[in-house]
Amino acid sequence: MVLIAAAVCTKNGKVILSRQFVEMTKARIEGLLAAFPKLMTAGKQHTYVETDSVRYVYQPMEKLYMLLITTKASNILEDLETLRLFSKVIPEYSHSLDEKEIVENAFNLIFAFDEIVALGYRESVNLAQIKTFVEMDSHEEKVYQAVRQTQEREARQKMREKAKELQRQRMEAPKRGGPSMGGMGGRSGGFSSDSFGSSGISSGSGGSGGSGGAPSIEMEAKHVSSKAAQKPVSRNALKLGGKSKDVDSFVDQLKSEGEKIANLAPAVAAGSSGAAASASAAAKAKISADIHTESVHLKMEDKLVVRLGRDGGVQQFELSGLLTLRITDESKAHIRVLLANNDTQGIQLQTHPNVDKELFKSRAMIGLKVPTKPFPLNTDVGVLKWRFITQDESAIPLTINCWPSDNGEGGCDVNIEYELEAQHLELQDVAIVIPLPLNVQPSVAEYDGTYKYDARKHVLLWNIPIIDAANKSGSMEFSCSASIPGDFFPLQVTFVSKTPYAAISALDVVQVDNNESVKYSSETILFVEKYEIV
């Protein structure tokens, strides 16, 4: 087929958005678009209109038309299939099908149109691939951001060292009998940074010849701030941002290493991906609520990214996890965590740089390299992370088989079944989001669980409260008119579980000095970042 142009216009003929794919004068393309409403015949339903030179193929979308202008030599069946893909792209980038939303998202729609058609010919892409291409995820940008964050962290470290030096000089001046800032002996005090970036204040006892009473911590902090204000060099030298905190959290370190830290409250987009995102966020919030926590709390998070082919096969499987430690009692800050690692799949483990790696390798214990140093208080400290990537189908926890077939009446009968493969898991709040053709309501015959048809997002939401070894399989059957098998992909799946995928668990928490057990609480959660069948 040769596609001349694609346009979105109102039913009165007003063109909202148009993209031209072949060389043609502006006057010519404007004339073709202006002629379209005049060719429409009132009282009759069409899918195309022809003139002596071109063919108009269109589809109503509420108050709008999705219009393709092709040559008369193009294949009408290919034209209609391409038109369906264009019609599915519009709701992905426009929350509502009205003129204002189309104009606001015009650039994203044009970029998506260019991924569908190149030089007048249809590209072999589906909706999921189009969304990936339009996002334009840049590895070079990630590297630049990581380098920039590393430079900022180094500058903050230099700023803290300068502040400590100024405080030492201020405290040594009275002992030397004058206002000189040059002495380095005797009593010292200043700001110190622990291994995970949380800041504290330390002070020492008086040395030989020193005065008896040491100034209070509050007074020392005030003197440091006033001295820094009097020194224009320190004010102008290493300050990068007016509101930058003096804390380098473990999340900052992950970002500097190039890891992608996802927002745990994602904005819900339109379409099947938006429905899946909202279902995933709600399920995760539900499973994390009402958890009793002790003064020592361990949290283990597993995150899945899975992409499966509609005819079978693993296109992507990635598991990433993080073990975090939160301590709220200062008396329990010197501890070690004993872990059990029963993994047989080859999961890669990595400890935090300040964790004793030899201790972890030999005894499976998480402890600091310097045992006398405490863990930070009242903050989530990441101490261990893991990753597992494979193409083995046996690693898939939940398989989804979607089987649409032509019913001979211009529509499709769809059979979907699920089966739990990892039977040690108990999946909760499972949601399977099935895309549907535009403005076509499904007729559901049989189903397990519950379902809901979302007409605004054009999806069928299939919900199963629990999938476990006792309820490991289920199915749904429905039919749709005016549809083809490709209309029901990609499927989006979300679920959460209190059972981790990685065979890693906490056995005990003990004090460093006497190996006595410490009362602790633990929390495990497995959730889905992306799980789709394309």
> Is residue 271 pLDDT above 80, yes or no?
no
Please indicate, yes or no, whether residues 349 and 465 belong to a single structural domain of this protein.
no
**CATH number for 100:** 3.30.450.60
Global pTM? 0.50
pLDDT at 229 exceeding the cut of 70: no
Quick one: 507 and 470 in the same domain?
no
Q: Which helix (H) or strand (E) holds 23?
A: none
- Before 174, cis peptide (omega within 30)? no
Phi and psi at residue 25, to the nearest 5°: -70, 155
Amino acid type, 150: T
Q: Is residue 97 part of a domain?
A: yes
Q: What is the DSSP letter of 53?
A: S
CATH code for position 477: 2.60.40.1170
Instruction: Look at residue 286 and tell me if it is in a domain.
Output: no
Residue 364 sits in the same domain as residue 337: yes
Do residues 374 and 334 lie in contact, with contact meaning Cβ atoms separated by under 8 Å? Answer: yes
Could you tell me if 388 and 510 lie in one domain? yes
Query: Is 384 in the same domain as 506?
Result: yes
Question: Do 104 and 73 share a domain, yes or no?
Answer: yes
Domain assignment of residue 95, yes or no: yes
In-domain check, residue 89: yes
The total domain count for the chain is 4
Domain holding 445, by residue range, is 398-497
- Work out the pLDDT band at 309, boundaries 50, 70, 90: very high
Do β-strands 48-50 and 54-61 pair in parallel, antiparallel, or remain unpaired? antiparallel
Shared domain for 110 and 245, answered yes or no, is: no
What's the full length of the chain, in residues?
A: 534
pLDDT at position 296, please? 94
Shared domain check, 407 and 308: no
H helix runs in 176-270, sequence order: 217-230, 232-237, 250-256
Q: What confidence tier does 284 reach under pLDDT thresholds 50, 70, 90?
A: low
Q: How confident is the model at residue 17 (pLDDT cuts 50, 70, 90)?
A: confident
48 in a structural domain: yes
Task: Judge if the upstream peptide bond of residue 179 is cis by omega within 30 degrees of 0.
Answer: no
* Same domain as 472, residue 525: no
Let me know if residue 40 belongs to a domain: yes
Among the ranges given (15-29, 276-290, 306-320), the one the predictor scored with the smallest mean pLDDT: 276-290
